[in-house]
Structure 1
């Protein structure tokens, strides 16, 4: 069983409170997701984030195939971090940790995603040229979108 890890960091010139207010609102996921992915929340974004929260949405990750994705927010330390885990969706495993810490002149966000591709060896074969580049593209979009919204850290 091959488990992959995506690790990203981004600095923004905002306060920790501003970062938390934006990042902990499930409704803002659509804002930081590329339009072509057709991200649409079906249920669960009507309250502030809490442990045990279930969020259902539709996303089109690859090849125009619409996929229902169900995520549970498993851990929340208000202002500092939260963890979401896929319950149903395109991955065999998806465990995403989001950390926010104060730094001089702003905050640093850190994302650590541990994931497993379905379909055994076939999934492992397509990972380097389909899944990994797509995840990097999504996070690059997010980086640029957050900079457009909040400014570039200097």
Structure 2
């Protein structure tokens, strides 16, 4: 299984506690996901903040409006500095997303590191090259724009 990586850094004009309060609230993910993906949290009674072992189910439409169920587990929580979400069921053969928040010069350096794999051998590799890698980059570019807009207004 070939693994790929997507990495982003964003400087936010807020404190690490403010960053944690926003990103550790599972309801906020919809605010930073492209509208055309029709992202919807299916899990009922979500807590205000994540914790180790929390399972969250979503429905998302990343390509051609086709709905995909996605079950994530939150792991390795180190509030307010980092957490990991890992796909338990969903479109990827493997998904490991590390979120870190580091206070620097009165701002927060937020880092996203996604390690992922796609099933189907060479067909998955081709799909990554032609579609998936670009789509993930677009999603994370959109997230960056939304996050900067949200925190610019604070």
Structure 2 length normalisation: TM-score? 0.95
- Aligned position for 1:20: 20
Q: State how far apart, in whole Å, the 1-side matches of 2:4 and 2:73 are.
A: 20
1:110 corresponds to: 111
The verdict on how the C-alpha distance between 1:64 and 1:120 changes in structure 2, with shifts beyond 3 A counting, is same
How many residue pairs match? The answer is 152
Task: Tell me: CA distance 1:29–1:45, structure 2 relative to 1, closer, same or farther (3 Å).
Answer: farther
Distance 1:55 1:114 in 2: 19
> Which residue in 2 is equivalent to 1:51?
52
For 1:82 and 1:67, locate their aligned partners in 2 and report how far apart those are by CA, in whole Å. Answer: 24
Residues 148 and 36 (structure 1), Cα distance of their counterparts in 2 relative to 1, 3 Å cut = same
Does the CA-based 8 Å contact 1:45-1:55 persist in structure 2?
no
Deviation at 1:102, TM superposition (A): 0.2
Which residue in 2 is equivalent to 1:149? 150
Q: Specify every segment of 5 or more residues in structure 2 that has no aligned partner in the other structure, as ranges.
A: none
Offset from partner CA, 1:10-61 (integer Å, 9 cap, x none): 0010011110000000000000000000100000562121000000010011
User: What is the CA–CA distance in structure 2 between the aligned matches of 1:45 and 1:20, rounded to whole Å?
Assistant: 20
Q: TM-score, normalised by structure 1?
A: 0.95
Moved over 2 A (4+): none
Change in Cα spacing, 1:65 to 1:90, as seen in structure 2 (3 Å) is same
Distance across 2 between alignment mates of 1:72 and 1:61: 20
Q: Tell me the C-alpha RMSD between the 2 structures.
A: 1.2
Cα deviation 1:44-97 (Å, max 9, x = unaligned) = 562121000000010011121100000000110010000000000000000000
Q: 3-state DSSP class of the match of 1:43?
A: coil
Correspondences of 1:81-92 after superposition (within 5 Å)? 81-92=82-93
**1:11 aligned onto 2:11:** yes
Tell me the CA shift for residue 105 of structure 1: 2.7
Quote the Cα distance in structure 1 between the aligned partners of 2:135 and 2:24.
23
